[in-house]
């Protein structure tokens, strides 16, 4: 279980650019939850992920993962528990290393063994099978440098790197946004399959309102550093995009003005 308790973060304190990115955010992610997160630019979505993953420390509040307070743990230590995929396919991998070497590093991170152990044939067979299941031909390119892969291939491989050791939490920060529509759809299908098979606690930021209601089992909407909607079950199943727009305008006193979210549907 992930618990966020009164989480707050302000950037540029005491300056003309002071901005409250998170304000007293309280949220609980249960085992098996796959939560989609909506919000316009500046709503606090990526800041929320940064506080959870350890990219920075909050001003107030706590991040508790499976009963452990990780609020002030360094990012490299949290990386052993939390898998993260970014919008940029270039992040999260070493481009001058081969697919096999990148996967070995990720596999080692989830174990207490040196790199040599991760490269044993039995372990590489496991990685080969996982890559083959993606249906992108990556299993036959294990000696290829990652920098030569396409964006979709790289995101698929990064997903495997983030989940090979079964993290306690998976964070997806618009990880298909930089891909062409066909590739994005394939990577998203691989993501859903991986989350389902491993029963991972997952949070996924998206700008696509239809996807936010169709994927996972729960949807939250953020605005001005706060969660303004948290919906699941039958209520979520009955919601349409227009309902989300009305929810936003009803709580914020203004219509949603974000072309990327509106035109994406």
Q: How sure is the predictor about 251, in pLDDT bands with cuts at 50, 70 and 90? A: low
The Cβ of residue 148 has, within 10 Å, a number of other Cβ atoms equal to 12
**pLDDT number for residue 209:** 87
**pLDDT number for residue 20:** 93
Q: What is the pLDDT of residues 142-153, one digit of tens each?
A: 889 999 998 888
| Boundaries of every domain in the chain | 2-263
Mean pLDDT score, 232-239: 92
**Greater pLDDT, 12 or 251:** 12
Picking from 251, 254, 201, 264, the residue whose alpha carbon sits closest to that of residue 221 is 251
pLDDT at position 119 over 60: no
Q: What is the pLDDT of residues 151-207, one digit of tens each?
A: 888 888 888 888 888 899 999 999 988 888 888 888 899 899 999 999 999 999 988
Q: What is the average pLDDT score of the chain?
A: 86
**pLDDT number for residue 256:** 62
| Contact criterion met (CB below 8 Å) for 172 and 204 | yes
- CATH top-level class for 2-263? alpha beta
């Amino acid at each position: 279980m992930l618990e966020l308790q009164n989480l707050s973060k302000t950037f540029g304190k005491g300056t003309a650019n002071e901005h409250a990115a998170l304000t007293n955010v309280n949220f609980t992610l249960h085992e098996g939850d796959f939560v989609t997160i909506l919000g316009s630019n500046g709503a606090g979505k990526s800041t929320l992920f940064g506080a959870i993953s350890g990219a920075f420390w909050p001003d107030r509040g706590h991040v508790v993962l499976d009963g452990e307070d990780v609020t002030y743990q360094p990012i490299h230590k949290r990386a052993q528990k939390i898998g993260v995929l970014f919008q940029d396919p270039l992040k999260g991998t070493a481009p001058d290393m081969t697919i096999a070497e990148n996967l070995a590093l990720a596999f080692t991170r989830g174990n207490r063994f040196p790199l040599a152990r991760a490269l044993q044939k039995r372990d590489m067979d496991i990685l080969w099978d996982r890559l083959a299941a993606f249906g992108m031909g990556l299993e036959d390119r294990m000696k290829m440098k990652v920098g030569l892969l396409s964006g979709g291939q790289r995101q698929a491989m990064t997903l495997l790197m983030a989940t090979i050791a079964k993290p306690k939490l998976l964070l997806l920060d618009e990880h298909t946004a930089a891909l062409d529509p066909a590739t994005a759809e394939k990577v998203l299908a691989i993501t859903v399959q991986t989350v389902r098979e491993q029963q991972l606690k997952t949070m996924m930021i998206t700008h696509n309102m239809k996807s936010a209601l169709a994927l996972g089992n729960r949807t939250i909407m953020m605005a001005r550093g706060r969660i303004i909607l948290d919906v699941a079950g039958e209520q979520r199943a009955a919601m349409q995009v227009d309902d989300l727009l009305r929810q936003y305008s009803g709580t914020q006193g203004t219509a949603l003005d974000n072309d990327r979210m509106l035109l994406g549907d």
